[in-house]
Amino acid sequence: MQFSELNLVPQIQQALKDTGYETPTPIQGQAIPLILEGHDLLGIAQTGTGKTAAFCLPILNSLHLRQARREPRSPRALILTPTRELAIQIHTSLLTYGKHLRQKYAVIFGGVGQGNQIRDLKMGVDVLVATPGRLLDLIEQRHLRLDRVEIFILDEADRMLDMGFMPAIKKVLPLLPSRRHNLFFSATMPPEIQKLAQSILRDPKKVEVTPPATTVERIRQMVMYVDKKEKPQLLAHILKDNDLHKVLVFVGMKHLADRVVKGLESKRIAAAAIHGNKSQGARQRALKDFSSDRVRVLVATDIASRGIDVDGISHVINYDLPNIPEDYVHRIGRTARAGTDGDAISFCTAEEKSYLAAIEKATRQQIEVVTDQPYHSEDAARARIMSVGKAKALIEGQRDAGRPRRGRGRRPSRGHR
């Protein structure tokens, strides 16, 4: 199948030709015809499968065919997404695919001043891309209303759940018209997400392009056993190899991301951090520097990383293993894109061995162990596997140790992610 075979208007077809896109990805080939026919859609797909175009192209097409006058503060389509970075990327995609259409697009998110965003809304937009917090803020200030929304897209629903946005989503839903076209995308379908999908979608068609918790076949996965205190030295040792030319490093906590960057910079390795405590400007600069190869290493937490969609990432390094197997799948999927190969290296301490076992069970494969490295830990390799819950509690206890308490009787801040 080619894009030219899809029932998209000539203006969108021309934009696709301008960008050199000819062949749809599996989710695009399956989802676009269903959306064009007006079906509600449940799309189960991970980042990197092309799902943004899978919903952007048909909604632009539908809005073009149902031309209506733009009303101030009232978007015709709403795309709700969990992170600022992802919101910006979706907005950029809309500008690319819709450049030959007479439509207007806006993006709103927190962490920056709202003046420009309010001005964009006042002028009227066809498609609004938003994060939940800023969306509700502007609604409460009466700068935005949702009563004319024709198409509602909820993107990365499982990450919305992880980030605690479910209460916000439940506030947004009653503000939408009861009759609307709904598109729902999620990489995984835990029970709460299934329940949310059932409450939003009406007789949906389902498209699933990748079974949950499977990994990209073109990625070589490796694990290195190491003592916790020697993780910085192991990372620096690995980065001596210049074949690791664009490296994404995942850590468990925000303060650790900054610490890892400082350690790398002290060894003259160009690095930047991206996490929830960084300002929007700092996060965008870090992504830009990483994309343009001004920095070789980007150190990220899971929450901040969701919007990272950078071409050419050669290696993903799990400095800390995630305690949720699906997060591991999302992480390593940042490499080996567009038909290229990639490597994923995971550091594993004795305490993290249970996380590794859970990942191998979920992905149904055994990860290659690399012992030919100077910081190999036999103690970690031979460690007894405890329950994931106990391992998580132990690791969190170690991370909290020595941190100042914020007040008598209160728990120390976890600072997680």
Provide the CATH number for the domain around residue 20: 3.40.50.300
Q: pLDDT class for 379, splitting at 50, 70, 90?
A: very high
- Cα–Cα distance between 218 and 335 in angstroms, integer? 9
Alpha-helical (H) ranges within 106-222 are 115-123, 132-140, 157-162, 166-172, 191-200
Does residue 245 share a domain with residue 198? no
Of 57-61, 86-90, 332-336, minimum mean pLDDT range? 332-336
Q: pLDDT class for 390, splitting at 50, 70, 90?
A: low
214 domain-assigned: no
Does residue 21 share a domain with residue 121? yes
81 domain-assigned: yes
C-beta atoms surrounding 31 within 10 Å: 29
Residue 392: what pLDDT? 63
Beta strand 247-250 pairing with 368-369: unpaired
- Cα–Cα distance between 134 and 109 in angstroms, integer? 5
AA identity, residue 127: V
**208, 231, 259: which is the final residue of a domain?**
208
Sign for the CA dihedral angle at 57, 59, 60, 66 comes to: positive
Residue 26 belongs to domain spanning: 3-208
413 domain-assigned: no
Does residue 135 share a domain with residue 243? no
7 domain-assigned: yes
359 domain-assigned: yes
Q: With 60 as the cut, is the pLDDT of residue 238 above it?
A: yes
Q: With 60 as the cut, is the pLDDT of residue 214 above it?
A: no
- Sheet of strand 105-108: strand arrangement: 105-108, 127-130, 77-80, 151-154, 181-186, 41-44, 205-208
Residues in CB range of 411: below 8 A, 6 or more apart: 400, 405
Q: With 90 as the cut, is the pLDDT of residue 249 above it?
A: yes
**148, 176, 208: which is the final residue of a domain?**
208
186 domain-assigned: yes
405 domain-assigned: no
Q: With 70 as the cut, is the pLDDT of residue 231 above it?
A: yes
Residue 333: what pLDDT? 82
Rounded to an integer, what is the distance from CA 2 to the centroid of its chain?
A: 27
pLDDT, mean of residues 287-301: 93
Does residue 256 share a domain with residue 108? no
Q: With 80 as the cut, is the pLDDT of residue 399 above it?
A: no
- Cα–Cα distance between 101 and 9 in angstroms, integer? 10
Does residue 253 share a domain with residue 225? yes
Rounded to an integer, what is the distance from CA 179 to the centroid of its chain?
A: 29
Does residue 291 share a domain with residue 341? yes
Does residue 141 share a domain with residue 255? no
Residue 178: what pLDDT? 94
Q: With 60 as the cut, is the pLDDT of residue 407 above it?
A: no
Q: How many domains does the chain have?
A: 2
Does residue 185 share a domain with residue 107? yes
Does residue 65 share a domain with residue 26? yes
Q: With 70 as the cut, is the pLDDT of residue 305 above it?
A: no
Q: What is the pLDDT of residues 146-158, one digit of tens each?
A: 999 999 999 999 8
Q: What is the pLDDT of residues 30-42, one digit of tens each?
A: 999 999 999 999 9
